Structures are given as C-alpha cells and as structure tokens.
C-alpha cells in the first residue's frame, strides 16, 4: 500500500490542497494494484579491516567512515536491492507521453512504493535473524560511501538476473525506481543515526540527546 503523505512529500507538495491529494490518492491506489516492489538480498559476515568493512561471503568491501560507523558493532550485514521493475519504468514512459502532470504524481508514488519494498525486505531480514538488532538502512551516496559501489552490490546480489536491475557505466540503476541498501546486524541495540532520535532504541537514555546533540552531529 502506498502512503499518500509520503508520496506527496517526495513530490515536494506536502501542502497540497484536497483536489491534488485526491488525485494522488487515485494514482496511488492504481499503482499499488498494478505494481509491487521486488527485492533480493544476501547476508554476509562483516570483517572490520583497516581499508574498510569486508563482507567476505559476497566479496564486497565497503570503504569509508560512514560504513565504519554504521557497522562498528555489527557481526553480519545484509546487502539489499529493491526495485519496482521495468514494467513500472515502461508505464512511466508511456505516462510521460500521455500526461506529464499525472506522470509526476506516479513518479512520487513509485518512490514511496520502492521504499515500502525496502521496509518489507528489512522486516524479512529481521525475522530471519530474530536475535539481532538492525542498523538503519544506508545506501551508496550516504556520507562517504561511494556511489561507484552500485555495480559491485548489483553483481553480488545477481540483481540483473534476479530482478532485472541494471547498472549503467555511470553507476546509475535502471529501472530508475531501484534502491540498493546495506543493513547491519548487531548483538546490541543500534542507534537510529539516519532515521533520527524518535526511532532510536536508546532515545530515553541517550546522553548525547540529553545534552542536546545526536550521534550524527
């Protein structure tokens, strides 16, 4: 199901009037019936090396401080690819030829839907590892995690064969409504560094928060 408020937010139209909201609702309903996000993931042991976080089972190195910080307490990590697929892409193209105004609404619904797919994948991973605590999802482009990891993540998840997700020479994913993400698995509760303090397991006891700061400051 597509969250209409979320879709309006992606469109930059949170202040939409009732008419626009209704239009978004209609498109969201249709899109939710016609398209479903699909995902695939792999889980690997994390080895904290000097040059970065090494995910040996999928032979992937995550360099930089952001990954180091996110995965500092993690023994495993999942790499995830989620997509609305090529049929959504085709539908977007045909909608753009037909009606650009509807197309931008559909585009925003697509963004909301692919995020909902990531949420579902995250839930599934959490269920497979009931004793683990999950970090926030983070993606190439977050902090200093380079975008050019995209091809390696897609290769490690075999995303072209499994989902029809391609990476171009300039590291863009096609279909465009595709997301790659990394989720760390740890033995202790993880801070909500990206989603914010409201989601954090430590929000009631956090010293940083009491001092008026957050762990991302």
Partner 1 sequence: MKIDRRKLIFLDGAMGTMLQAKGMQAGENPELLNLTRPEWIRDIHAAYVDAGSQVVYANTFGANRRKLQNTGHTVAEVVSAAVRNAKAAVGDRALVAVDMGPLGELLEPMGTLTFEDAYDLFAEVARAGAEAGADLAVIETMTDLYETKAALLAVKEQTSLPAFVTMTFDENGRTFTGCTVASMARTLEGLGADAIGLNCSLGPKQLLPILKELCSQTRLPVIAKPNAGLPDPVDGHYDLTPAEFAQAMKDAVAAGVSVIGGCCGTNPAYIRALYDAVKDMQPGERSYEEKSFVCTPTNALFLDGLNVIGERINPTGKKRFQQALKENDLDYIVDVAIQQVDAGAAILDVNVGYPGVDEVAMLPRVVKKLQAAIDLPLQLDSTNPAALEAGLRVYNGKAAVNSVNGEEKSMAAILPIVKKYGACVVGLTLDENGLPKTAEERIAIAERILDRAESMGIPRQDVWIDCLTLTVSAQQDQAAETLKAVQHVTDVMGLKTVLGVSNISFGLPNRLLMTQTFLIQAIQCGLSLPIVNPNQKEIMDAIAACRVLSRQDGECRAYVDRFAGEVAAKPVAAASSLTLGEAIVRGLRSDAARLAREALQTESELQLVEGHLIPALDKVGADYETGKAFLPQLLGAAQAAQSVFEVIKASLAEKGGDTVKKHRVAIATVQGDIHDIGKNIVKTVMENYGYEMIDLGRDVAPETIVKAVVEEDIRLVGLSALMTTTLPAMEETVRQLKALENPPCIMVGGAVVTEEYAQRMGADAYARDARAAVEIARRLLGGN
- Residue where the block lists tokens 């509807």: 102
By CB atoms closer than 10 A (0-12, 13-18, 19+), residue 168 is exposed
Q: What binding mask, one character per residue, do residues 125-164 give for partner 1 by CB under 8 A, x or -?
A: ---x------------x-----xx---x--xx---xx-xx
| Shortest CB 70 distance to partner 1, Å | 20
Question: CA-CA distance, 190 to 82, in Å (whole number)?
Answer: 23
Bridge partners, residue 206, by sequence: none
Among 30, 48, 75, 86, binds partner 1 (CB under 8 A): 86
Q: How far does the chain reach from its first CA to its final CA, in angstroms?
A: 34
Out of 93, 123, 195, 203, point to the residue binding partner 1 (CB under 8 A): 93
Burial bucket for residue 205 (CB in 10 Å: 0-12, 13-18, 19+): exposed
85 binds partner 1 (CB under 8 A): yes
State in angstroms the smallest separation of the CB of 210 from partner 1: 36
Is 61 among the residues that bind partner 1 (CB under 8 A)? no
Q: Minimal distance in Å, beta carbon 107 to partner 1?
A: 6
Would you say 137 or 191 has its CB closer to partner 1?
137
Q: For residue 95, what are the β-bridge partners?
A: none
Quickly list DSSP for 11-62. HT-TT--HHHHHHHHHHHHHHHHH---EEEEEEEEEEEETTEEEEGGGTEEE
Residues in contact with partner 1, counted by CB under 8 A, come to a total of 54
Q: Which residues bind partner 1 (CB under 8 A)?
A: 11-13, 15-16, 20, 23, 40-43, 57-60, 85-87, 89-90, 92-94, 96-105, 107, 128, 141, 147-148, 152, 155-156, 160-161, 163-164, 166, 168-172, 174-176
């Amino acid at each position: 199901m597509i969250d209409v408020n979320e879709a309006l937010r992606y469109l930059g139209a949170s202040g939409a009037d009732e008419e626009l909201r209704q239009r978004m609702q209609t498109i969201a309903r249709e899109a939710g019936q016609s398209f479903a996000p699909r995902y695939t993931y792999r889980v690997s042991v994390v080895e904290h090396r000097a040059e970065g976080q090494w995910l040996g089972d999928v032979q992937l190195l995550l360099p930089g401080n952001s990954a180091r910080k996110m995965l500092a307490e993690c023994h495993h990590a999942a790499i995830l690819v989620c997509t609305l697929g090529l049929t959504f892409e085709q539908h977007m193209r045909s909608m753009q030829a037909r009606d650009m105004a509807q197309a931008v609404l559909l585009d925003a619904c697509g963004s909301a839907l692919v995020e909902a797919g990531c949420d579902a994948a995250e839930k599934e991973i959490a269920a497979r590892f009931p004793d683990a605590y999950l970090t926030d999802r983070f993606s190439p482009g977050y902090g200093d995690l380079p975008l050019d990891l995209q091809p390696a993540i897609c290769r490690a998840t075999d995303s072209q064969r499994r989902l029809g997700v391609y990476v171009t020479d300039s590291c863009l994913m096609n279909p465009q409504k595709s997301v790659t993400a990394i989720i760390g698995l740890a033995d202790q509760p993880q801070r909500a560094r990206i989603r914010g303090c409201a989601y954090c397991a430590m929000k009631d006891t956090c010293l940083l928060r009491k001092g008026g700061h957050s762990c991302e400051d």
